[in-house]
Structure 1
Amino acid sequence: MKGLSIIASLALVLTGCGQTAQPNATTTANTQAVENNVPVSGGELTFALATSPDTLDPHRSGLAVATRVYRTIFDSLVVQLPDNSIQPWLAKEWSISEDGKTYIFKLRDDVKFHDGTSFNAEAVKFNFDRVIAPETKASNSLALIRPYKSSEVIDEYTIKINLETPSAAFLGNLSQAILGIASPAAIQKYGEQFGQHPVGSGPFTFVKWNENAEIQVARSSAYNWAPSNVENQGLAYLDTITFKIIPEEATRIGSVQSGQVLAGETVPPQNVLALKNDQQLQLLEVATEGLPYTLFFNHRREPWNDPKARKAVQLAVDVDAIVKTLYLGTYPRSWSPLTPGTFGYDASLENGIQPDLAKANTLLDELGYRPGADGIREKDGKKLTLRYVDRSPNREKRNDIAIIVQQQLKQIGIAVEIEITKDIATVIHQNGAYDLYGNSQVNSDPNALRQFYHTQEAGVSRLTLSGLSDPELDQLLEQGTVEMDTEKRKEIYKKIQHYIIDQASIIPIYVFPYTVAASKKVKGLKFDALGYPLFNDVSLEKD
């Protein structure tokens, strides 16, 4: 066995390292102010969310907003730090076999789930086997855990994990909240309702969920195994956190400004400057990693299975105009399938695609589409129509993007039909009833691309967003999973990024900066390596 070096118990304040989770100057100043104060126990933090979680079952959720809640409830085997190193958490140490297909984890023996049952090797095996079980209908967790094959319990606190192939991303993926460890007893007790009654071993325990209104968690009375990316290794300072669900932007931020809630996420671009200058508030901002907000073509549907049709749209959509109009310089434009902070990002793609309506029209002419009397192109009696589906509510002004794209594509004779729906699971992931759909994903490794661009893998009922099926790309994505040499792996992902852009498989739009507006009474709010808020160190200044 080849041991992986372990750096034990590293206390760290997340003020940024490298390109990961870099707070702005406002955040840094606030953090320095917190360091001069002694945290005070007690009180309720009210935190406004921009949307409602789909479920609080980490293995079944696909939404970042859900992760912000259940990260308070669930712990992970390991933690990833801003320098991308992997450190102990529920696992004390581990070793990896020479062929990279076997991991042996030594686990903590002092951890209890919130229902009083013990965390041990059997619990880890139960959780990981559950993720890959078809009846779980796992979401992003299934893509993260692959190429997991099986687990073997060596003794009560030692587990052996077997992989189908080596994976450069596997250990880092285990740090993510969607592979957090839940109580097996609670999963068996609540069954399909576990997502409404989550039980983990984290710093906070679940209290209640009033649908579309609020979710409340309370301080765990026995927490003593925090990861090294927080200072407070023991009990949380807060008595409770109440996550208020407030989708409407003005109401959410207005609630922070009026003091009705103490913190609120996803600050609208038009409010950023005012909040920076507000003496009663602080603005916290952190870069997110993974896949930027991206418009995916559905390669399963004509004519978007033809690269010329996709290229025409790519050349007609003015992304700069969209980003400047809607985000007022607060959201960076994206150029790649990956965000700049993600391993392997290829900066050479920046400024590579510029609007060119003449060329877009030429491509559509070559495909045989001719303008009709109303200006919309036709071929064989059928109008050239693009079905653009987006999610409700209007998170990050994404519905507004659809309207601008509709206006821009009309210039080259494409009619855009917009459908806004709450039922993304059926329309997108089950039926694939779209030509263009926007999505993003927070992730720490470029292996995340495999979930979106690889040929539909056996045993996965959820459709890939791109619908791509190309043996050349599949081979590159598979090589990226198993390649352990850092430089060689970077080159693989550069090729993948170029392929996706050159084939006009997507239109990257923006990189999401996660922002939180908070009262200056809120002290110690930090972010993990992926940009998710951490509440272990949060305390409230007394009046």
Structure 2
Amino acid sequence: MRRFRAPLAALLLLPLLAACGGTSAPQEEPAGSPAKGGSLVFGVNTEPLNLDPHASPQDVTGLFTRPVLDSLVALDDKGDIHPWLASSWEISDDGLTYTFKLRTGVKFSDGTPFDAAAVKTNLDHIVDPATKSQLAAAAFGPYEKSTVVDPQTIEVKFKEAYSPFLAALATAYFGIQSPKQLALGPEALAKKVVGTGPFVIDAFVPHQGITYHRNPDYDWAPAIAKHTGPAYLERLEFKVIVEDAVRLGALTSGQIDAIAGVPPVNVKQVEANPKLTIIRKQAPGGNYNYYPNNEKGVFTDQKVRQAFRDGIDFATVVDKLYFGAFDPAFSAISPATAGYDKATETQWKYDPEGAARLLDEADWSAKDAEGYRTKDGQRLTVRWPFLKALAREQRGTLAEQVQAEAKKAGFDIQFVDVTPNDFTPKALAGDYDLIDFSWQRADGDALRNLFAISNIPNPNFFGQNLARWNDPEVDGWLTDALRTTDLAERAALYAKVQQKANADASIVPVYVFTYLLGASKNVQDITFEPQAFPTFYDAWVSKA
């Protein structure tokens, strides 16, 4: 057995977020110690449909639940793993068994004791088919079972070696919830989660926001935090403000303290304001990508997929729409993800003439009166279920611009308006030609979530392989990466996956998401967790 009391350096292939992420704009640090008390209001541009991070398909759920939920381990900016609710752990030599020793004296905010039984209840909840877990279950790999050894010791066993486990465990999607609250069922969990964290939820009102109050008993922050004991803030509020102009106006007028998603067009305006600052953080994991359906429809033909990608000048569209705030993407994963292959940046390019030749070769050589390509009298139509209700970062505007550029290349993009309720059935059934999403995850294993055959969605499982790319060779590389802790070996395997995804045009990389957080200079010490979402345990507001 190998024992770790952390930091656990170089065990996992993890992003060097400090080097690859963004930089913070200079801030005027107020004199004196952090102020205790007060409140912070944070304007957000989207919200989760379900607060239970074990079940939710949305990565933003991690933002809303991290103030409440602690994890067994913590991940720092250098990729090291540290104790949190677990004080230490051992990994068997074959990599199949993880044994965690848990902190003592910890309790959930509802008074329920934190112990090994509570951890087992949480892990079992994630894999329970009734939970219909999406993000969490997909990151759990070949999990087999959990066993309570004694009240402060739990053993987690895998069917196969799974080296990304600790990195996944550090995310809010594996946040430990009160067994008492879990027992209330999915409807209750969708509205409220209860954890051991520094804040406690007061109320979650859909389309309005969520309020929290400080947990006065909190005294088990990880060592990477800037302080110990309860949070500085007495009250924290996330206010849902979808409209960019309204959210920005609330910040500049001083109505709220910080906002997510500063509109790229307004970044320089905010930076020029002596009372405000911009904090940047490039997100790890899957970029904002378009996923053509490789399984059925027009995009089963690799030449058609490549023609769609190469026939649209994505880099220029992204640069103009986002004023350079977001970088164009060239791979499925972002440069902030360890294992990112820089060679992908020159692997493909905008090539309208080449795209036209590919469509000719694929027998889409004829054109109708409107200029769209046709074959056997049928137009080259792309059905795209676009979820407007949850679109952020002007993705709707981006989609319309892509639609216009695609028309020049001969593609007829038809948006299918869907609600959150009917989007999922379409995704599970593969009832689409193109679909879009981003997915932040602090590990190169994000590629397995995006491309493993086992992650192709089906009626019983919402996997992230919405490209429905079925490639046994790629599957083998991804499996090999799970079985080794050698960083160079894993990087080489992940490079192969990225290069083949580009060669096959199995996906269309669009842009690299960078978190643009605008804040009053009175707000201090907002930090970021591994998924590049802001956290507020160390945050405080100057009374100056």
Counterpart selection for 1:397 from 394, 397, 409 = 394
Q: Deviations over 1:452-481 (max 9, x none)?
A: 211145985225311111211111111122
Using the alignment, how far apart are the partners of 1:115 and 1:425 within structure 2? 35
Identity of aligned residues (%): 34
Which residue in the other structure is 1:40 paired with? 35
CA separation in 1, counterparts of 2:333 and 2:428? 25
2:139 is equivalent to residue 144 of structure 1: yes
Distance 1:474 1:396 in 2: 32
Partner residue, 1:537: 538
Alignment partners' CA distance in 2, 1:86 and 1:191 = 31
Which SS does the other structure have where 1:515 is aligned?
strand
Query: How many Å apart are 1:425 and its aligned residue?
Result: 4.0
SS in 2 for 1:171: helix
| Residue of 105, 110, 113 corresponding to 1:115 | 110
**Deviant stretches of 4+, over 3 Å:** 456-460
8 A contact 1:21–1:529 mirrored in 2:
no
Offset at residue 50 of structure 1 (A): 0.3
Residue number in structure 2 paired with 1:55? 50
The residue aligned with 1:324 is 319
1:429 aligned residue: 427
Cα distance in structure 1, aligned partners of 2:413 and 2:388: 18
Once residues 170 and 535 of structure 1 are traced to their aligned partners in structure 2, the CA distance between those partners, rounded to angstroms, is: 25
Q: Secondary structure at the match of 1:145?
A: coil
1:96 aligns with 2:96: no
Q: Provide TM-score, normalisation by structure 1.
A: 0.94
Q: What is the DSSP-based 3-state SS (H/G/I as helix, E as strand, rest coil) of the residue aligned with 2:166? A: helix
Two-structure CA RMSD over aligned residues (Å): 1.8
Counterpart of 1:12?
Answer: none
Matches of 2:239 and 2:19, distance apart in 1? 31
1:31-430 counterparts in 2 under 5 A? 33=29, 36-369=31-364, 370-393=366-389, 394-423=391-420, 425-426=423-424, 428-430=426-428
Amino acid at match of 2:4: L
Q: In the alignment, what sits opposite 2:486?
A: 485
Query: 1: distance between equivalents of 2:41 and 2:445?
Result: 35
* Aligned mates of 1:82, 1:355 — CA distance in 2: 34
Cα distance in 2 between the residues matched to 1:107 and 1:206: 24
> How far off is 1:338 after superposition?
1.2
- 2-structure distance, mates of 1:415, 1:191: 40
Other-structure match for 2:529: 528
Q: Which amino acid aligns with 1:146?
A: G
Which letter maps to 1:2? Answer: R
Question: Which moved further from structure 2: 264-273 or 296-305?
Answer: 296-305
After superposition, the C-alpha distances for 1:38-58 in whole angstroms (9 at most, x for unaligned) are 111211211101012122111
Q: Output the CA distance in 2 between the equivalents of 1:309 and 1:321.
A: 21
The answer (yes or no) to whether the contact 2:109–2:196 under 8 Å persists in 1 is yes
* Deviation sequence 1:72-116 (CA, Å, 0-9, x none): 000000001111010100000001000000011000011100110
Whether the 8 Å contact between 1:21 and 1:82 is mirrored in structure 2 is no
Amino acid at match of 2:410: G
Q: Secondary structure at the match of 1:417?
A: strand
Moved more, 394-403 or 247-256: 394-403
Is structure 2 residue 513 aligned with structure 1 residue 512? yes
Q: Give the whole-Å Cα distance in 2 for the aligned partners of 1:42 and 1:486.
A: 44
- Cα deviation code 1:106-157 (max 9, x no counterpart): 0001110011001100011111011111110001000111221101111000
Contact residue 74 and residue 182 of structure 1 kept, 8 A: yes
Deviations, residues 226-266 of structure 1 (Å, cap 9, x unaligned): 11232121101111111100010000111111111111101
The alpha carbon displacement at 1:37 in A equals 3.0
The superposition leaves residues 391-442 of structure 1 with CA deviations (integer Å, 9 ceiling, x where unpaired) of 2244111112211111112112211112343326425433322211221111
Aligned residue identity for 2:398: I
Say if 1:190 and 1:197, in contact at 8 Å, map to a contact too: no
CA distance in 1, matches of 2:320, 2:80: 38
Which amino acid is the alignment partner of residue 334 of structure 1? Answer: A
Aligned-partner residue type, residue 383 of structure 1:
R
> What is the rounded CA distance, in whole Å, between the counterparts of 1:436 and 1:140 in structure 2?
20
